[in-house]
Amino acid sequence: MEYILIIISAILVNNIVLTQFLGICPFLGVSNKIATSLGMGAAVLFVMTLATIMTWLVQHYILMPLNIGYLQTIAFILVIAALVQMVEIVLKKVSPALYASLGVFLPLITTNCAVLGVAILVIQKDQSLLEGVIFAMSNALGFTLALVTFAGLREQLDLMEVPKGMRGIPIALVTAGILAMAFMGFAGIV
């Protein structure tokens, strides 16, 4: 039951993008097309899950035993940067089209505060490795849900007659705000 609460909470109630406001840069930057959003979501799922596993291990088997917990942020950033480089290399070989469509946003996963934020939250909440992995995967799925939903809304907005002063980023920001308010409706579930 505890794992189900973690999943529902991370995906809907405390959505990493829409309620905690982490990962806004890729949320706004990659959400023009649903296909690109799905690709970014898959990359974030992979990186966030692996980063959480690696950072949990670094925290519990290196930083804590050596009593150097103050290096947590730097160590976590280095682990995440290495993982993103690995994902970039794999995507370039496996799916050149997805690699090209993600463009500059793939390296942005390195600086995506959602990935670092989840890794730090797992440590702050003193979760076990399994709980941390479930939490990370759920947050990545919540990130993907928000990203794909927003991309679908933006694709619809491109078909609508939007006043000239609201076209582009202004209507995207208003839509993102309304989407965040919609997710606030899930607040009483967990």
75-124 confidence digits (pLDDT tens): 999 999 888 888 788 888 988 887 877 666 667 776 678 999 999 999 99
For residues 26 and 123, which has the higher predicted lDDT (pLDDT)? 123
Span 13-18, average pLDDT: 90
Indicate the pLDDT class of residue 169, thresholds 50, 70 and 90: confident
Q: How far apart are the first and last CA of the chain?
A: 12
Q: What is the pLDDT of residue 37?
A: 87
Q: What is the pLDDT of residue 184?
A: 87
> In b/e form, how buried is each residue of 160-186, taking b as 16+ CB within 10 angstroms?
eeeeeeeeeeebbeebbeebbeebeeb
pLDDT higher than 90, residue 29: no
Q: What is the pLDDT of residue 72?
A: 95
pLDDT higher than 90, residue 139: yes
Query: Within 23-128, where are the H helices?
Result: 24-29, 34-58, 72-94, 96-102, 105-108, 113-124
Q: Is 34 exposed, middle or buried (0-12, 13-18, 19+ CB in 10 A)?
A: middle
For residues 185 and 59, which has the higher predicted lDDT (pLDDT)? 59
Q: What is the pLDDT of residue 57?
A: 96
Other beta carbons less than 10 A from residue 89's beta carbon:
11
Record the pTM: 0.86
* Cα gap 102→37, rounded to integer Å: 9
- Cβ pair 11, 146 in contact under 8 A: no
Work out the mean pLDDT of the chain and round it to a whole number: 88
Q: What is the pLDDT of residue 103?
A: 67
| Percent over 90 (pLDDT), the chain | 47
Q: What is the pLDDT of residue 100?
A: 79
Q: Is 189 exposed, middle or buried (0-12, 13-18, 19+ CB in 10 A)?
A: exposed
127 secondary structure, DSSP code: -
Q: What is the pLDDT of residue 102?
A: 67
For residues 107 and 55, which has the higher predicted lDDT (pLDDT)? 55
* Cα gap 156→128, rounded to integer Å: 42
The segment with the largest mean pLDDT, out of 16-25, 87-96, 105-114, 148-157, is 148-157
